[in-house]
Amino acid sequence: EQVEQTYIMVKPDGVQRGLVGEIISRFERKGFKLTGLKLFQCPKELAEEHYKDLKTKSFYPTLIDYITSGPVVCMVWEGVGVVASARKLIGSTNPLQAEPGTIRGDLAVQTGRNVVHGSDSPENGKRETGTLNGTLFGLRSLSLNHGKKKT
């Protein structure tokens, strides 16, 4: 049972629609720990790096335009099994196929406006939160004792 970190990003549509609190709430209520957070305007070069695996896809230019179209909220969430669990909380890529009760299932309809990103593997969790090759989104994860008094 290994503590993992995942990169969660509220995309520009989620920020614009005022869904940041709702999305954070779901991860908080589940019981994961927030260890990094910032509001950020993603530059094109960073969006391209983040989505480099999708470079050959027809929707790639639209995806880059979308993700750079307004501020995003970058987060690191930590916990045992957080990578896979966060993907379940987020739901399928196509919101019309995402189960009710998931973020995309409840809050979105279009694949190109699916409100949130989550790392798809522990390796990518490390890459995207910058614990492997330096900070991709400039987030530095903090080891804080949330709500716990030092005794």
Q: Quote the CA–CA distance of 102 and 86 in Å, as a whole number.
A: 10
Q: Which is nearer to ligand DAT, 45 or 140 (CB)?
A: 45
Interacting residues with ligand DAT between 7 and 66 (CB under 6 A): 54, 59, 63
32 is in an annotated binding site: no
> What residues are paired with 78 via a beta bridge?
5, 33
Q: How far is CA 9 from CA 63, 115, 139, in A?
A: 14, 8, 11
The encoded tokens of residue 134 equal 């330096």
Q: Which is nearer to ligand DAT, 69 or 111 (CB)?
A: 111
Residue 97 found at the interface with ligand DAT (CB under 6 A):
no
Contact indicator for 12, 71 with CB cutoff of 8 Å: yes
Of the candidate spans 54-62, 79-87, 118-126, 128-136, the one that interacts with Mg ion by CB under 5 A turns out to be 118-126
DSSP 8-state assignment for residue 92: -
With CB under 5 A as the contact rule, the residue among 120, 132, 150, 151 that binds Mg ion is 120
124 is in an annotated binding site: no
117 assigned to active site: yes
Contact indicator for 133, 97 with CB cutoff of 8 Å: no
Of the listed 26, 33, 50, 117, which one is catalytic? Answer: 117
The encoded tokens of residue 39 equal 């509001």
Interacting residues with ligand DAT between 104 and 143 (CB under 6 A): 111-112, 114, 117, 120
Binding site feature residues for ATP: 11, 59, 87, 93, 104, 114
